[in-house]
Amino acid sequence: MRLSKFFIPFICSVSGIVHAACSSDDGTRFLATAGDTCTAAQPTYTFSINVGGTIDARDVGTVLNITAPNITSTNPTGSGSPYALTTSTDAIINVSGNFTGNVNGLNGRVIAVFNPSTVNIAGDAILNHTGSQGAGIQLFGADANLTINGTTTVTATTGTTGADGMRLTGTSEFGGDVVVNVANYITGISASSESAQFLSNLTLTADSMRNGGLNNTGATVTVAGNLTIDTRNTVNDGDQVHAINATGGILTVNGMSTLTTESIDSHGIVLSGANTAVGLEDIASSIATQGDDAHGIFFSSTAGIVAIGQSATSLTGPIVANSGEIITNGANANGIDLSTATVGVTVDNNGAITSNNGFAILGSSQDDTVNLIAGTVTGDINLGDGSDTLNYTGGAINGQLNGGDGVSSADGMVDTLNYDGLTITAPDMMNWELTNVINGANVTFANDFETETLTTDSASTAVLADALTITGDVVNDGTINMQSGTATGTATIDGNLTGSGTLAISIDVGADIADVLTVTGDSTSASIAIHPNPISAVPATGNDVLVATVDGTTAAGDFTLPNGTTMQTINGVTYELVLVGNNWFLRANGTPTSNSPAAIPSTSVWALLAAMLVMMFAAMAAMVMTTTRTTATTARRFR
What pairs with residue 30 in β-bridges?
55
Q: Does residue 355 contact residue 334 with C-beta atoms inside 8 Å?
A: yes
Q: What is the per-residue pLDDT across 372-393, written as a single tens digit (0 to 9) for each?
A: 999 999 999 999 999 999 999 9
Instruction: Look at residues 333, 297, 334 and name the one whose alpha carbon lies nearest to residue 312.
Output: 297
| Amino acid letter, 398 | N
| Amino acid letter, 499 | G
Residue 199 pLDDT > 90: yes
pLDDT at 159: 64
Q: What is the per-residue pLDDT across 219-278, written as a single tens digit (0 to 9) for each?
A: 999 999 999 999 988 766 567 899 999 999 999 999 999 999 999 999 999 999 888 999
Nearest-angstrom CA–CA distance, 201 and 214: 14
pLDDT at 208: 86
Residue 99 pLDDT > 70: yes
Distances (CA, A) of 402 to 174, 407, 605: 47, 10, 57
pLDDT at 620: 52
Nearest-angstrom CA–CA distance, 260 and 21: 50
Nearest-angstrom CA–CA distance, 604 and 591: 6
Nearest-angstrom CA–CA distance, 253 and 221: 8
Nearest-angstrom CA–CA distance, 120 and 552: 85
Nearest-angstrom CA–CA distance, 564 and 569: 15
Residue 17 pLDDT > 50: no
DSSP-derived letter for residue 195 is E
Q: What is the per-residue pLDDT across 484-508, written as a single tens digit (0 to 9) for each?
A: 999 999 999 999 999 999 999 999 9
Residue 12 pLDDT > 70: no
